[in-house]
Amino acid sequence: MRRTGPEQRRAAMTAGASFVAGALLVATAAVGSLHTTGSDAAGATTGSGSAVDITSVAYPGPGTDSITNQAPLNSTSSGGNFPNGASGPGVVAAGPHDGCRNPVTGGPGEHLADARRTALLIGDSQSGGAAGVPCERTWTQTALRNAGYDVQFLGAGGTGFVASNGDAGAKNYPSALQQGQWVMPCTAPALIVVEGGGNDATQGASDEQILGGADRLMTSLTKAYPTSKVLMVGTLARGADDGGARRSAVDGLLGSYAYEHNIAYISVGDWLTTYQVTGLMADGVHLAQAGHDRLAVALADHLHSLRLAQPNLTGTGR
């Protein structure tokens, strides 16, 4: 497995990162048990546990792409995604769909303007925007656009693989997907990106809960969209040696899961320190726009290195 990025030096595994197969069989009730009303806290160090810090892993290879252009659905591109006109940030209402079905639930789906150029991004406030930074200008969304994609965002601040945000009416990732809170594309997007883990770390989710939630989500996504490339982006943190111990551990835990399941992964568990953005925070929790802009360049570089940018593009995304 090829690994790239400035975090190569941390590729060695630690014993604390190992997990048994039974961890992936955590009950649904356990995965959905935590609740948070806050947004992703970039400096949080609560909780305990250790994990291997797996570096970026190259995508194993493209599948057969049989997707076609679709007529666009009238929707927004920011905030959470809720069906049937339900309230929430960035609502996408489930209107007439002409037979377009959500491949996960069988309910109404969403047409994509051009599935072959669409990146479906699942994330928390790091991707959805907070502290005055709009959704479309976050580091993940900017990097994906610089890599040639149209971005479709699903998720909300305060959520994760385990954490839900009751104030926003947003479930955790696997529950939102499997219970139809998100209106999913009826055709396979070119790329699916899953970012998160920070709220799980902040709210004290166990390794077993996080792994169970990740497995529920990733298994459902890969089954529903077998031709899409898939990338996991880890938990943004300062690094274990710079006050981000639990968040960095969750980043490594998710990297270990991705490695075991042959999923491309970009470790960001020390990016706040590595890319010197600790002084570019808006409120001590979220990045200011300058911080998002700096990390967008770094993430775009990794997308190109992993050959996950649109093939007609060259360069680093700067």
Q: Of the CATH numbers 3.40.50.410, 3.90.1150.10, 3.40.50.300, 3.40.50.1110, which one belongs to the domain with range 78-305?
A: 3.40.50.1110
Residue corresponding to tokens 């809170």: 181
Q: Are 93 and 85 in contact (CB under 8 A)?
A: yes
Q: What is the pLDDT along the chain (318 residues), one digit of tens a residue?
A: 444 444 433 433 333 333 333 333 333 333 333 333 334 444 433 333 333 333 333 333 333 222 222 222 223 333 333 332 222 333 333 444 578 999 999 999 999 999 999 999 999 999 999 989 999 999 999 999 999 999 999 999 999 999 999 888 999 999 999 999 999 999 999 999 999 999 999 999 999 999 999 999 999 999 999 999 999 999 999 988 777 899 999 999 999 999 999 999 999 999 999 999 999 988 877 999 999 999 999 999 999 999 999 987 544 433
Please classify residue 310 by burial: count the beta carbons closer than 10 Å to its beta carbon, then call 0-12 exposed, 13-18 middle and 19+ buried: middle
Tens digit of each residue's pLDDT (9 = 90 or more) over 221-266? 999 999 999 999 999 999 887 778 999 999 999 999 999 999 999 9
Cβ atoms 43, 206 nearer than 8 A: no
pLDDT score, position 313: 55
Query: In the chain, what are the domain boundaries?
Result: 78-305
Could you tell me which of 248, 281, 200, 288 has the C-alpha nearest to residue 10? 248
pLDDT at 194: 98
pTM for the predicted model, two decimal places: 0.72
Q: Looking at the chain, which runs of residues are DSSP E strands?
A: 3-4, 56-57, 118-123, 150-155, 191-195, 229-233, 264-266
